[in-house]
Structure 1
Amino acid sequence: MKNSFVNAGLVYSTESGRMCPDCRQPMASCACKANARTLVPAGDGLVRVSRETKGRGGKAVTLVKGVALDAAGLAALGKALKAACGTGGTVKEGVIEIQGDHIDRIMAALQAKGHKVKRAGG
């Protein structure tokens, strides 16, 4: 019978806190995280803007997907879009979420920044 704990490594250390499961270094000095930040996601060049209410108690959220920027650039773009709409939002897993239904404002702001924008969904 194969032991399922063979690949299990140190998860937490009292000296350095949480440990990265891949490189087994403390999360503060993780080499995997630094490499992941430098990668730019590949896409088809279109930024898709959609509206979603699923799982949010009926509240509308505008989603921006497919932006070919690194994590820092995506966060800066998210901040600019939040300011343009005058509302809150977040950046999660390469997707910018803006609170409320602001599809037209976001599409105009992205086109002004030189992105090819497409409305996704109904």
Structure 2
Amino acid sequence: MAGLSSLSGLVYSTDNGRMCPDCRQPMASCQCKAIAAAQAVPAGDGIVRVSRETKGRGGKAVTLVKGVPLNAEELQALGKKLKSACGSGGTVKDGVIEVQGDHCEPVMKLLQAQGFKVKRAGG
């Protein structure tokens, strides 16, 4: 039961609504997200890698874009632009843009047009 105290905490208040589990402030005035967004720019070698993956996806192909040196908000905007250009869905998780389908070539051309140094990774 020693670990229970770290798991217990206020997550919802009838007065303020949802509460941040880290700073225990209402989500509207939470400072954790602002700090995390400012520190979210990954340090890499400056090369954006585009690959195709099917592992763990039921045989469906997904185009992965890794190593983009942008913060979280800019990464979301770039992901949206790539998805709309390819005419498919996708998501942005942990600094990686996932576009549903095999769209490596169009994604690479779009990223090069944006001024990124792009490499094809994987097979």
List alignment gaps of at least 5 residues for structure 2: none
Equivalent in the alignment of 2:116: 115
Q: Describe the shift of the 1:101–1:14 C-alpha distance in structure 2 as closer, same or farther (beyond 3 A).
A: same
Give TM-score scaled by structure 2 length: 0.86
Give TM-score scaled by structure 1 length: 0.87
Q: RMSD of aligned C-alpha atoms?
A: 1.7
How big is the shift at 1:44? Answer: 1.6
Which string of whole-angstrom CA distances, capped at 9 and with x for unpartnered residues, describes residues 58-102 of structure 1?
111101111111122111111221122122222122111111101
Please state if 1:105 is matched with 2:102. no
Matched to 1:42, the amino acid is A
Equivalent in the alignment of 2:2: 3
Aligned to 1:50, what secondary structure does the other structure show? Answer: strand
Equivalent in the alignment of 1:32: 32
Taking only the aligned residue pairs, the percentage that are identical comes to 73
Aligned equivalents of 1:105, 1:38: Cα separation in 2: 30
Matched to 1:120, the amino acid is A
* Total equivalences in the alignment: 121
